[in-house]
Structures are given as C-alpha cells and as structure tokens.
Structure 1
Amino acid sequence: MKRSKRTASVLATVVATLVSGLTFAGTAHAAGTSYHVDNRSGSNCSDSGPGTQQRPWCTFAPVNARTYTAGDKILLARGAAWAESMDLRGSGTAGNRIELSAYGRGDKPRILKGADHTGIEMFNVSHWSVNNLEIDGSGEGKAKLVFGIRARYDGAEGIGNQDLNFSSLELHHNHMGVYVAGTSTLADGQWAIKGVRMSDIEGSRNEVSIAFGAAGLPRTFLQDVVLSRLNLTNDDGQPAAYKNCPNSLTLQNITRLTVMDSLVSHAGGCYVHSGTTGIYLGNVNDANLTNNIVAYTQQSGSPDQSGVNYENGTSNVALRGNLITGNVRWGVALQGIHEGSPNEDVTVESNAIAYNGQPPIAALGDDAHSDGVIRGNLWEGDSLTAVVNGGSFADVEITGNVGPAVGDRIWFAARDFSPSQGLYGWRYQYSDNGGATWADLTYHQNDQSWRPAGSALPVLEKWNWHPGGSSGHVARTWTAPRDGTVAIRGQAAKSDLGGDGVRVQIQHNGRPVLGSRALGGSDRVGVPTNVDSLTLKAGDTLRFIVDPGAAGANSYDTTSWTPVIGYLN
C-alpha cells in the first residue's frame, strides 16, 4: 500500500483558501496599557469606553482596531464568552511582551464560532504571550472554527519575528486548535518566527490540535520551537469533521525543535485518504522528541494509523525515551515515498514501542530510503521491524534493542503516575541524607505533585523531578510483582535549562545497577538510562534516583525522566 503525499498539501489548501481577503488597519497608542473586555450582564461595558476594569469593552471591535506595543495587555473576563473573531497586531520587546490573557475569577474566557473562520488571528507578531483561554470551535451548533488560533507570517513583515508563547489553553472542536505558518519568502539565513513556546495546552475533539508549517516552505521558516506538557487527545472532528483528521501534532518547516513531557493520544479519529498518525514530521531539522507518550492512533479505515511518522525531508530528528503504544498499525513509520526527499540521520533510541497493531518500526516505500540508527529500544511484537512496499533498512544501523517484552503491560513512569502510593508498583520517595534512608512523599492535589508535607522541594510530578537540599534525593521506587528478567529503558534530560546539573542513577534493592550519571545544566538531549537484563524476585525494588549533583545546588534542577520496565520472560 503506497501512501499519498498528504498532510502538507492538506494544510496548504486550507491556508490558500482562507488567507486571501483579510486586511489589517489600526492605530498606535501608548505602551504598557491594560485593556479589559467583559460582555456579561452588570459589567458596565461600553465599546466607546476606556477598556478599564471598571468600564470594560463589550466586544472585540475595539480590540481589533488597535496595534499593540510593548507591555500592553488584553484581558478577557473569566466566565465570559464571545462568538467573535479577534485580530491582533503589533510587537512587544524581549523584556516587555504583549499579553492576551484572563482576569477575575472563574472559568477561562471562551471564544466561540462567530461569522469568521478563525477565533484569534495574529499577524506578523513578535514578543507575544497568549494564555488562560478556552477556544470552543463548535460554536454551539454553528459550523466549527477552522483555526482556533492562527499566527500568520506573510510578506516582508513576516520575516525575522521572534518570541511567541502559548500556555494554559483549552482548544476543542476546531479544525486546527493552534496553527503557526505563513507565506513569507525567505532568503538564506532568514526565518519567519524564531522562539516559539507552547506549554500546558489541552487539545481535544479537534481534527488537528497543533500544527506548524505548510507545503513549499523551507525548513528554516520556524526556528527554536519548544513544546512541553501538551495533552492532545481524541482528535476525531466530532460532532462533524470540517475536512479530515490527519494528525494531532503536525510538525513541519522547523529547525531546532524540542517536544517533551507530552501526551498525544487517540489521533486520526476520522477518515483521511492519505493516512493518519499521532505526530507528523516533515521538513524538520535538528529535533528531539523526548519522554512523550504517543498512543492509540484510531481505527478510521485510513492508511498508516501509526504513532510517529517521519514523512519526508527530515534531518537529525531523534525519538528518545518515549512510550509508543496501542496504535492501530506501526509505532514509528519511516516513509520513503517522496523521491529526492529522504529522512536522513534518523535516531530511534531508548524508547518503549509495544502493543501496537503491527511491528514497532516500519520502512515504507522505495522512492527515498531513510538512514540513521535504531538503538537500545524495548520492543514487543513478533518482530522489531517491517518492510512495506519496497521500504528498506539497509542504511539504518539496528543495534542493542531488547525484546520482545512479554505479558500484558509494561511499566512507564509517566503513564503510571498516580495520587496513590503503591499503585502499579510505584512509590514516590525522598531522602534528606544522601540516600542513606528513604521516606514516602505526600501527594498534593492542588498541583498534582508529590512533596514532603509543608515543603516545596523535593518534588515529583508526572513527567518531572526536582531534588531538594544539598543532600536531598528524590526517587520513584518500583516493586517487582513477580520473578523474572526485566529490561529498563529511559532518557533523562533537563526540562529547566541552567544551573550546574543533576545526577541520575538506578538501584536494585539498594545497590547500583546503573551508576550515577551526570546531566549538564542545559542538556535537553540527555543521557540514556538503559539496563538490558536484570533478574528480579517478586518484591525486589528498583529505585530511580535524581540528586542535585556534585555541588549540591538546587537551582534549575527540574529534570524530565520517565523510566520504563518490561519483563522479557
């Protein structure tokens, strides 16, 4: 089954249809002003008023009439909703962003489907922050939003922009939740937008929750993109698809990309003739996808239905420390269907790829074979690799992989994270004396973390760890449910860049099985934490430890690490 050249052209068609005809006029104004918008009964709102909290604007009309400058804030009232489109223009500075956010108490402000295709349109912006919003594209019975948020970079002003941040957003029932792309023509050494950050974003029931790029754009169009703590689930286009559901996370035309500590689950929930996948990679250069869960791409009758898809034109793109599971077909697909545009220097390393419908890793098509390395993965199934329609692993080094895992589960620390000690065999512990003795941490519901009672550090969260004190260690401790031989896989990497780094180690019944490994303060690639074979008895413990490093300093020590354990017999 040969696969069509797909998502890039799908996105390009939508963009070409909707970009035309938009105009942006506005007036400049004094910097550092906060504008409030509240259309609820009793708010004393007026579009001709000053936009203060005491007399806010009612609609987005005065918002759209302005061009914003450094320090400005557009604040939407919590508990309010608007079936309107917002158009945003202007740029802040590196030290003084422009912010779109919420004020007051209650639920996040909601933007619904109005007359336009887009909820929030951002045009050639730099140094912006957008947070604390809900965008419901279903429009309460109307046709859905095509874009919940679209950041466009077009023309000469679309070149050389920087610093775009999105956080604490809820995006649902849109065709695309957030889309960053454009049409600017770049010369060598140029970019459209550099420094994109997305974190703590909930995407569900979209067709694509987050997308970057489009067909025909260079790899350098977007640069330095960091995505973390995404929670993208059930992208099935409900209640009715606008177009189709190709991927939950579409990554195109990016140089230097990090995706970490994120869940992409149940993507591809409506039919796409050219194929579906959880994460799509096309024309991406220098990327690390580390410590994520990519699971349960759905059965829609579409081609592919894979977890992660290397489509074409990628270079130095690495998957490390991920759990890729439950997808209808392959965990990872290396496409070879774009002549002259191979995937080069692929790295698939230290992942757990298990319980997918087809072999963990597939090479598909004979037009452009991939090269790289498949190393140190824990796998489950009848075989590690599959060749489809002339695909080839001839230029891929395959080494150090262990499997097949047996039984009906593997233990992946982030997926198994729980507010209960002992669930799935995991305990959450700390030591304040350099690991000589250990005590259980206390669960804190307000921030869903494990910490000592009354203390901020050390802390354990679903994805991240942070030691506390010069001799303070933090640990996940797993108890073996039965006798047998296990393999351990994982990748420890810094989440918070800076400081003097940390150390990680693994102990079996208190004795090291993986000696202390140093992780530099700005090491976002990280180090593998693999043990190929370890014999356990029921009740034995494996303790995964993070400590503050040789100097004992605690600044910037937040570390991403979600080890996985699987039985081999």
Structure 2
Amino acid sequence: MRLLLDGTLRGLGRRSCALLVASLLATGAVSAHAANYYIDANLGQDSNDGSATAPWRSLGRVNATTLRPGDHIFLAAGSVWKEPLVITRSGRRDAPITVGATGIGQRPRIDAGGVAEHGVAIMNAEYVRVSGLEVTNDGPPAGSRFGVLVAAQDSGVMRGIRISDMYIHDVRGTNDRKDNGGIVFSALGPKRPTRFEDIHIERNIVWRVDRSGIAGISDQVTKQRWFPSAGVVIRDNLVEDVGGDGIVPRGTDGALIEHNIVRYAGSRAPGYTAAIWQWSTDHSLIQFNEAAFTRTRYDGQGFDSDFNSRRTTIAYNYSHDNAGGFLLVCSPKRSDQDNLGNRGTVARSNVSRNDGSRAFQLAGTVTDVLIEGNVVHVGPKQDIQMVIATQWDGWASDVRFRNNVFAVAGTVRYGHEVGRNGPDYLIQPGFGPATQIRFQGNRYLGRHIDPPQDEKGVMQPNYVPPPVDWAVPVFDPAKPDGFAAFMVRHRGWMERMLARELGAPVTPLEPMQTSFVESRR
C-alpha cells in the first residue's frame, strides 16, 4: 500500500488522505487476499497490472475486476473519467472494499453526463466505502440521473455502506420523479424483502442537482410489507440549489438526520417540496440542521413530518427565509393498506426566523402532536399565518402548542382553511373541523390576529425585536476546499445561537428504534 502525501496537498487535502489511511489500517488492510488497485486516467494503461507503479487507466477495468473483501481502489488525483464506477462485490465487516483518492492535486473526477445514469453505483453490495471523489452527471434533460446511487434489490439486508467526503454537483436528473438526484439509497424488494443496515452519508457537498439532494427510496413501507432500513445516518452534509427536496429518507426506523445544511431547495421541480423531511418512517430524529431559502410555496417549508410515520422528533434546528414557512405536519386519511397516518410528532426547541407563508401548518389527519419550546421570529414586513389547520382527507386532532415564543415584528394570523389561491391558503378564525388544538403557556409578542385561547399565555402587543447577530456562516460550494473546517464553525455557531434563543445550553438527542411492542404488525 502506498499513499503519496506531502505538505502541499490541494483539492483532496491532508484530512481526506488521513481518513483514508486510518480506514485502511483499521478495517482490513492486513487481509491475506486483499489487493490494492491504482487507476490513473493520465498515466495508466489497462494492460498494466494495476499496481502503484503500473496503474490502470479506465474505471471500466475496475468494474470488470472481481473485487474481494479488503480490496482498496486508489483513484489518482487530477484524473478525469467520462465513465461510471460500479461496485457489485461485497466486502466484510472487518474488511470493507474501499474506494478513495491518492496523490497530489485536484480530486479525481467522474463526469458521467451523457454516458451513464450514475457516476458512482454500489449495486447489491455491502461493506463498501467510497470517499474523496468529485462526481458530476450533466447533460440534456433525458431522465433519471444520479451522482451516487446505492441500490439493493431482492437481496435481503445490506450492511456497512459509507459515502463520505464526496463533492457531487451538476447532476441534471428529471424533476418529474423524486427518486433521482445527488445521493440516492434505494432498497426495493418485489420478490425478497430488502433493506439497509448501518448506512452513513456524511460530510458530502451536494450542489446543483435535480430532483432530490439526498433521498432514501423503499417499496416496503406498507403495513403488510414493513421492512425498514436501520442505522441510517445522514450527517454534516451541505445540500444547496436542489430542484426539489433537499433531504428525504423513506422506509427507515431510527434514522438520524443531524447537522445538515439545506439551502435553496425547491428551485426547479413542479409540485410540492420541502427542505428536510421524511415519510413512511418510525422514530426519525432530525436535529441541528439549518434549512433556508426554500423557494416554492407549494409546501416549501424548512421542515416537514409527513405521512405513514410515527414518533418523529424535530429538535434544535434553525429554519429561516423559507418561502412556505417553518414546519408542516401532514397526513392524508389513514388506510390499513399503506398509511398509518402521522402520529406522535414532536417539534421541540427549534428556531424559525423570517420564514414566509405559514409558520406551522397542520394538514390532514395528524394526531398526538407536541410543538413545544420553539422560538419563532417574524420580520417587520411580514404578514403570515402563524398556525393554520388545512384539509387533506380530514383534519388534525390532539395537537398541543406549549411554551413557545411567537415574537412578531410584523403581523400573524391564526385559523383554518376555507379555500385556496394557488399555493396560498384562505383562512377564517378558529381551527374549524380540527379538534383539540390546544395552547398552553405560550408568549405572544407583537401583533396577533385571531389568536387562540391560551389561559396561561402571555400577551405583549408592544414588541420591538432587540438587535441580535444572525450572521450564520456560509460556504461557497464552487470552492470545496475547507469544507470540513467550515462545518465545525457552522455547528459551533448553531449551538451558540440555539443556547441564546432557547435560554439554555443544548445537548444532542440519541436516536431510538421501534421496540417490539411498538412494531407495525
């Protein structure tokens, strides 16, 4: 094994190489049958033996190789390939198949536009790790495209996938389907139940992609075919300029969506989109994320807890400047076939600032919802709906708003849907057919029209917001160097801002999974 490192590393960076070396030393480099394969698009030849001194040229040569547990694939910095990388062989827990970069210079880049549906694909394989690459998939709009596709079909339980430190951009997929875009993990089991266990998507830049930024797909989400993926972690990713949804797992139990940044979702796709949301999940934990500048008002919220889901927790997040608002909790009418409804959503200790249209929307037959300890800032030029109930095959019931702060420099309204004007809701006072929408101990600062009954609430009509620093750190995805350091700064800013707004230090929550007594059966 040989990695070329010195103090002048650029593009790939010392950190990426160090992580790769640690991975190799810790997870199977000593395997007796493991091999190292080197690929250099500039200096290699496919007739070579693939060694460090005689590398291969093409990714096709790798795709045709029978990889074994513990094998390492080193892609040379500064190389560009116009062909996909496809992994179809599995590693082992103690000896994963590892793909990474080596050398000095720009990240090795895969340009799949016009030649393949995906730039990198892991197909029916487990214990595979891919990191340190640049991937694009641009071209005339023609259908589904992916930056990275992790696909399992009729293969049972697939474990140990890692997609990290990737720079994925300019993936021009179709905006007519949700199941394509930057990074997609898809578990389909028409013949054999299939799911992922222990799949991590971390520290990636996903920029200018259609339709989804990071998405999970599953066809085993009905009551009769419930086989959710477990150990799903989506963390420390930047997702920016997305045609449709930013981050949206489906068919998971105990997923952790933590400290991601999603900006400018809903930029091109028709229909309903949101920045960060989940559906057909149990016990999703969504925390420490920033969702901002979602462009559509068809939904268009920073966060959404969607249907066929139970016990979703949305905590310690920052939502701002989203055209559709802060939080949507929604579900159509329950069905014994494919929708258990939306039950037990908790939205606690989040901060919303300058979100448009609707701060809180309760759509359809959601129940057992707790919205507690959030701080909502409405700007002086804004006139929005603070809490509205809307119809989707029925109405909400049993929703509690407790100990929230509604700090309004403009105007807010409360009510229920009586009509539509495109993406906007026409409302009347009260929550109409929605039942048991209760308010307790909230603070109403500024101008509130038709506020709810709240016996322990505090009304303060005269309100002027104090001067506060809201300069959240930003990052230019066109210049990917320094991303890891930026994410550290961003998380620090988030923790300080949340502590200031909530009046107490913040501590991350731990994800949970469904117990046997809670299982869908």
TM-score, structure 2 as length reference: 0.70
Once residues 131 and 389 of structure 2 are traced to their aligned partners in structure 1, the CA distance between those partners, rounded to angstroms, is 44
Report the CA distance between 1:312 and its aligned residue: 0.9
Query: Over residues 441-474 of structure 1, what are the superposed CA-to-partner deviations in whole Å (9 max), with x where a residue is unaligned?
Result: xxxx896389xxxxxxxxx732159xxxxxxxxx
Report the CA distance between 1:96 and its aligned residue: 1.8
Pair 478,389 (structure 1): closer, same or farther in 2 beyond 3 Å:
closer
Once residues 446 and 289 of structure 1 are traced to their aligned partners in structure 2, the CA distance between those partners, rounded to angstroms, is 22
1:356 aligns with 2:355: yes
How many residues are paired up?
Answer: 398
> What letter matches 1:111 in structure 2?
I
> What letter matches 1:397 in structure 2?
R
Residue matched to 2:284? 287
Pair 418,118 (structure 1): closer, same or farther in 2 beyond 3 Å:
closer
Residue matched to 1:225? 232
Query: Over residues 100-133 of structure 1, what are the superposed CA-to-partner deviations in whole Å (9 max), with x where a residue is unaligned?
Result: 1111011111111242211122111111111001
> What letter matches 1:122 in structure 2?
I
Residue matched to 1:121? 121
SS at match of 1:461: helix
- What fraction of aligned residue pairs are identical, expressed as a percent? 19
1:179 aligns with 2:158: no
Report if the CA contact (8 A) 1:180-1:213 is conserved: yes
- Between 66-75 and 316-325, report the one with greater CA deviation: 66-75
Uncovered stretches (5+) of structure 1, i.e. residues with no partner:
1-28, 236-244, 420-444, 451-459, 466-474, 480-485, 495-522, 527-569
Report the CA distance between 1:416 and its aligned residue: 2.9
Uncovered stretches (5+) of structure 2, i.e. residues with no partner:
1-30, 174-180, 379-383, 410-463, 476-481, 513-521
Pair 186,127 (structure 1): closer, same or farther in 2 beyond 3 Å:
same
Report if the CA contact (8 A) 2:346-2:371 is conserved: yes
Query: Over residues 533-565 of structure 1, what are the superposed CA-to-partner deviations in whole Å (9 max), with x where a residue is unaligned?
Result: xxxxxxxxxxxxxxxxxxxxxxxxxxxxxxxxx
1:164 aligns with 2:167: no
Residue matched to 2:103? 104
Which of 320, 325, 346 is 1:325 aligned to? 320
| Superposition pairs of residues 42-81 of structure 1, within 5 angstroms | 43=43, 45-81=44-80
Report if the CA contact (8 A) 1:172-1:203 is conserved: yes
Report the CA distance between 1:400 and its aligned residue: 0.9
Residue matched to 1:198? 201
| Superposition pairs of residues 244-283 of structure 1, within 5 angstroms | 245-273=243-271, 275-283=272-280
> What letter matches 1:387 in structure 2?
A
Report the CA distance between 1:478 and its aligned residue: 11
1:212 aligns with 2:212: no
Residue matched to 1:34? 36
Query: Over residues 117-171 of structure 1, what are the superposed CA-to-partner deviations in whole Å (9 max), with x where a residue is unaligned?
Result: 11122111111111001111115x796870111111112xx21221111111111
Report if the CA contact (8 A) 2:349-2:502 is conserved: no
Which of 474, 488, 492 is 2:502 aligned to? 488
> What letter matches 1:462 in structure 2?
H
| Superposition pairs of residues 546-557 of structure 1, within 5 angstroms | none
Once residues 48 and 312 of structure 2 are traced to their aligned partners in structure 1, the CA distance between those partners, rounded to angstroms, is 52
Report the CA distance between 1:48 and its aligned residue: 2.1
Report the CA distance between 1:492 and its aligned residue: 2.7
Report the CA distance between 1:393 and its aligned residue: 4.3
Residue matched to 1:462? 490
Report the CA distance between 1:394 and its aligned residue: 2.7
Pair 160,74 (structure 1): closer, same or farther in 2 beyond 3 Å:
same
Report the CA distance between 1:213 and its aligned residue: 1.1
Pair 102,487 (structure 1): closer, same or farther in 2 beyond 3 Å:
closer
Query: Over residues 498-547 of structure 1, what are the superposed CA-to-partner deviations in whole Å (9 max), with x where a residue is unaligned?
Result: xxxxxxxxxxxxxxxxxxxxxxxxx5369xxxxxxxxxxxxxxxxxxxxx
Once residues 199 and 473 of structure 2 are traced to their aligned partners in structure 1, the CA distance between those partners, rounded to angstroms, is 28
Once residues 486 and 511 of structure 2 are traced to their aligned partners in structure 1, the CA distance between those partners, rounded to angstroms, is 24
Report the CA distance between 1:178 and its aligned residue: 1.0
Pair 490,151 (structure 1): closer, same or farther in 2 beyond 3 Å:
farther
Residue matched to 2:485? 448
Pair 79,304 (structure 1): closer, same or farther in 2 beyond 3 Å:
same
Which of 388, 391, 397 is 1:389 aligned to? 391
1:335 aligns with 2:330: yes
Pair 328,143 (structure 1): closer, same or farther in 2 beyond 3 Å:
same
Pair 399,410 (structure 1): closer, same or farther in 2 beyond 3 Å:
farther
Report the CA distance between 1:34 and its aligned residue: 1.1
Pair 75,409 (structure 1): closer, same or farther in 2 beyond 3 Å:
farther
Report the CA distance between 1:182 and its aligned residue: 3.0
> What letter matches 1:416 in structure 2?
V
TM-score, structure 1 as length reference: 0.64
Pair 81,355 (structure 1): closer, same or farther in 2 beyond 3 Å:
same
Report the CA distance between 1:216 and its aligned residue: 4.9
| Superposition pairs of residues 9-20 of structure 1, within 5 angstroms | none
Pair 260,446 (structure 1): closer, same or farther in 2 beyond 3 Å:
closer
Report if the CA contact (8 A) 2:376-2:406 is conserved: yes
Once residues 466 and 208 of structure 2 are traced to their aligned partners in structure 1, the CA distance between those partners, rounded to angstroms, is 27
Pair 308,133 (structure 1): closer, same or farther in 2 beyond 3 Å:
same
Residue matched to 1:154? 153
Pair 352,446 (structure 1): closer, same or farther in 2 beyond 3 Å:
closer
Once residues 489 and 388 of structure 1 are traced to their aligned partners in structure 2, the CA distance between those partners, rounded to angstroms, is 32
Residue matched to 2:518? none
Once residues 418 and 148 of structure 1 are traced to their aligned partners in structure 2, the CA distance between those partners, rounded to angstroms, is 23
Query: Over residues 205-238 of structure 1, what are the superposed CA-to-partner deviations in whole Å (9 max), with x where a residue is unaligned?
Result: 1021211014554553321111111100111xxx
SS at match of 1:371: strand
Report if the CA contact (8 A) 2:91-2:127 is conserved: yes
Once residues 106 and 59 of structure 2 are traced to their aligned partners in structure 1, the CA distance between those partners, rounded to angstroms, is 19
> What letter matches 2:326 in structure 1?
G
Once residues 102 and 321 of structure 2 are traced to their aligned partners in structure 1, the CA distance between those partners, rounded to angstroms, is 40
SS at match of 1:93: coil
Pair 63,478 (structure 1): closer, same or farther in 2 beyond 3 Å:
closer
Once residues 137 and 262 of structure 1 are traced to their aligned partners in structure 2, the CA distance between those partners, rounded to angstroms, is 23
Report if the CA contact (8 A) 2:254-2:283 is conserved: yes
> What letter matches 1:37 in structure 2?
I
| Superposition pairs of residues 453-532 of structure 1, within 5 angstroms | 461-464=489-492, 487-488=501-502, 492-494=506-508, 524=510
Once residues 114 and 298 of structure 2 are traced to their aligned partners in structure 1, the CA distance between those partners, rounded to angstroms, is 34
Report the CA distance between 1:327 and its aligned residue: 0.8
Report the CA distance between 1:356 and its aligned residue: 1.2
Pair 371,198 (structure 1): closer, same or farther in 2 beyond 3 Å:
same
Report the CA distance between 1:179 and its aligned residue: 0.8
SS at match of 1:99: strand
